[in-house]
Every structure is written in C-alpha cells, then in structure tokens.
Amino acid sequence: MTKEQAIISRREWLRVFGMLIGIKLIMILVFAYSHHFLPRAQYDADIWMTRPNTTRFQNLANFDGAWFIRIAAIGYQKLTSGDYDLALETERLKVMDPLGFQDGIERKYAYRHWPLFPWLLKALAPVVKDNYLAAGVLIANLFFFLYGIFFYKLARQYLSEEASLLGLCLALIHPGAYALTAVYNEPLFLFSVCACFYYLKKDRFFLAGLFGGLASMTRIEAALVYVPIIYEYFRKSLPENAGLFAMFTADNLKTGFTRLWREPRVLWLLLVPLGSLAVLAYFKMVSGNAFIFVQVHEANAYGHFGFPWQMLYATYLKGADTYLKELPLHFLLLLVIVLSFRKIDWSLWVWMAAFWLFYTTNGNHSYLRYQVMAAPMFLALAGLLDKRPVMKYLYLIGSAGAMAFFAAMYINGYWVA
C-alpha cells in the first residue's frame, strides 16, 4: 500500500467512530437487557457477583475484573497475606467475598495479573472519589476507543478502507469481545500492541518501544509479541515480496545488526523487554520471587505446558461447556493462518502463528476471551472475507450472535472465560 492510500480522511474517521460508538452502545444494551431479564448463575459458595443486591455496574467487574480492583485498592502483599478486614473492604469495594479472600492467601491469585492496569486504576481512583470500580470501567472503555483507533491506523497500512473497517468490526464483535467493555486489561493491552506495531511500521522506534513496553507491563502475552517485532525489524531492508525466511540470510542479518550502532534510535525497541523486566523486578520486591506468577499458574490443575495436540485434547476433556466454545476458535485461527499464507504481510502472519502456538501449548486459559487479543487474525480474516459477501455476512451474523450470548452469560456470573 502506498503512503497516499494509507492517509485517513475525516469522512473515514467518522465511519470508524460511528462503528466504535455503535458497537459499544449495543454491548451496553445487551448487558442491560441480560442482567434485568435473565437468571443469575447459582454457586454453592457465597460469590459476590451473584448476590441479589449486586448491580449491573458492579457485574462489569466479574471474575478477573474483581481481582484488578482488589489489587489496585488493597495491593498484592495484603491480598496474599490476608492482612485486611474483609467486611470493611466488602463494604468499600463490593467485589469481595470469602472465596476470594481464601484464594488470595492460599493460591496467591493476585499474582496471576500483571500490574499496569491496577496501577492505572489506583491513579484514577482519587479523581472519582475512591471508586475503584468506576475507575476500572472508565479506563477499560477509554482504551477500547484508543484500541479501535490504532487498530484501524494499523489496518490501513495493509488494507483498503472497506477491508480495514471490516477488520475493525470483526475485532469488536468476536465472541469474546464482551471483555472490551468489562473491567479487564485486554483493551489496554491491545491499544499498546497495535500502537507499537503501527509506529514500528513507520520506523518511529521510540514510540514503538514505549507502547511495546507498556504492553509488556500489562500481560505476560506480550512476550509472544517479541517474535513478530524482531521479525519485522529484520525485514526492514527487504522488499515486500521477499519470502518468509528471507530475513534469515547472512547478509540481511548482518545488515540488521549493523543498523543497531549505525542508527542508535533503533535501540529504543529495547523498552519492550524492559517493561517485562520491570514487572519481574516489582514482583521480586513485593513477593521475594520474580517468577511468582509462574508458580501461581503451575499450581492450577491445568497450569502446565505441552504439545498443541495434548493441550487441545485436555481442552476436550474439560467437557462440552468448554470445548464447544474454545476448540472451534482454535481451529478458526488455524484455518485463517493456512488460508492467509502468502496473502498478508509476513510479520502479521508470524504474529498469528506465534499466538496460535502460545495458546495451544497452554492448558490453562480462557481462550474465548483471550483470542480477542489476536489482532492480526482480524486483519487476515478481513482480507479473506472482503470480496466474499455471502461468507462475510454469515460470519458477521454468527460472530455477533455468539458475542451477545456470551455477554449475557458473563454479566450474570456464568463462567465463560
């Protein structure tokens, strides 16, 4: 795509914002209708999110959302030591219950979540009268719009206007995209990653490194993004039609490494892994173990890694309520990877492949929600569907319907992801 084709007009931005606002309003209406008319989940234990007096606004912080609020308001150390008054914190934060208190101490669940999002909640809370829930909703939804903007800017580096709008729509109506309205850190992560790649594509290395570093402080998944970042960097001196492995030639690798001291601004990309290192240093400081999140992960019954076929089979063994929603998405991404081979930018293709491998070697995940973070999948899928109207509309209807279904389940406390 030429520079002129990638210029985004005001009319085009109006279409983008119209889509972002429209889908956001539909998501809010789905949550409102479902919370009012559908029954809540029933659990044996006292779970805060299914109590009769829990509001729809509070239910935006179901599951992991509650942990982000707890970390922001109470902190990792107190949550894992139990050094706080549960009754007082329940009154203050609402998103508290005895089970969470126990999990914080015995299973150290707080350390499953990386700190940037809770830190932002803590910073904003005083502005909204120490309402950590409101801070979480505001931040998550602010980054929803920023993510949409940078996803579109990135898409226009590769696709036409219509295909880019389709890609954005696909990203926002994925079956797990209800997470982009909840108090989750996916919007922050996706904004940071898309901004990183957008600026990397334009050789603005400081901004690419800055946003990549922020992504690395948000989720462990940022580590898999190192692969396409390195790949994109070493393809800089190659023509667009160079093959998948062209970057590995001796001459090209030499050119890439030589550039590090001939063009020192490239070194700003080191901010990306420095973000992860900062989190490890922080975890070491507050817990005594830089890799405590690995310990917490491995303590889970499914918290291990294996070959993709082993982990997919483990997903099947979890039962129909799990494999019917997760296995089709695994195979959808694999199908997109196969069909888009040689048809999309190689860096995007490598990013997709790295994502698929990461999540099919991990037996403990919530893939319905996590696949929302596979940004290159939506770009590739848009390219595949753009000129196939029947398939495009069937996919849009099916994906939107699935998202509404899972959103209704989520807001009422059913475990979906």
Burial (CB count <10 Å: 0-12, 13-18, 19+), residue 138 = middle
Do the Cβ atoms of 235 and 346 come closer than 8 Å?
yes
CA angle (325 as vertex; 324, 327 as ends), nearest 5: 70
Cα dihedral 78, 84, 88, 92, rounded to 10, equals -10
Cross-strand bridge partners of residue 362: 305
What pLDDT is stored for residue 301 in this prediction? 57
Q: What is the pLDDT of residue 3?
A: 45
- State how far the Cα of 304 lies from the Cα of 391, in Å rounded to an integer: 37
Whether 49 and 74 have beta carbons less than 8 Å apart is answered as: no
Residue 305 main-chain phi, psi, to 5 deg: -115, 155
Angle between the N-to-C axes of helices 132-155 and 375-385, in degrees from 0 to 180, rounded to the nearest 10: 40
Give the rounded distance of the alpha carbon of 248 from its chain centre.
30
CA gap 181, 173 in Å, rounded: 11
Distances (CA, A) of 346 to 45, 193, 204, 336, 353: 49, 17, 20, 14, 10
Q: What is the pLDDT of residue 289?
A: 96
One-letter identity of residue 24: K
Q: Which residues of 1-40 are buried (b: 16+ CB within 10 A; e: fewer)?
A: eeeeebeeeeeeeebbeebbeebbebbeebbeebbeeeeb
Residue 136's closest CA among 99, 188, 92?
188
First to last CA, the chain: 37
Distance CA 286, CA 151 (A): 35
Average pLDDT taken over every residue of the chain: 93
Euclidean distance between CA atoms 168 and 166, whole angstroms: 5
Place of tokens 């015995």: 106
pLDDT at site 2: 42
Give the pLDDT score at 322: 87
CB 17 within 8 A of CB 390: no
pLDDT in tens, the chain (417 residues): 444 346 899 999 999 999 999 999 999 999 999 999 999 999 998 999 999 999 999 999 999 999 999 999 999 999 999 999 999 999 999 999 999 999 999 999 999 999 999 999 999 999 999 999 999 999 999 999 999 999 999 999 999 999 999 999 999 999 999 999 999 999 999 999 999 999 999 999 999 999 999 999 999 989 889 999 999 999 988 888 899 999 999 999 999 999 888 999 999 999 999 999 999 999 999 999 999 998 887 776 565 677 888 888 888 888 888 889 999 999 999 999 999 999 999 999 999 999 999 888 876 567 899 999 999 999 999 999 999 999 999 999 999 999 999 999 999 999 998
What is the rounded CA–CA span in Å between residue 190 and residue 203?
A: 20
CA distances from 127 to 55, 115, 117, 296 (A): 22, 20, 16, 33
Residue 217 neighbours by CB distance under 10 Å = 22
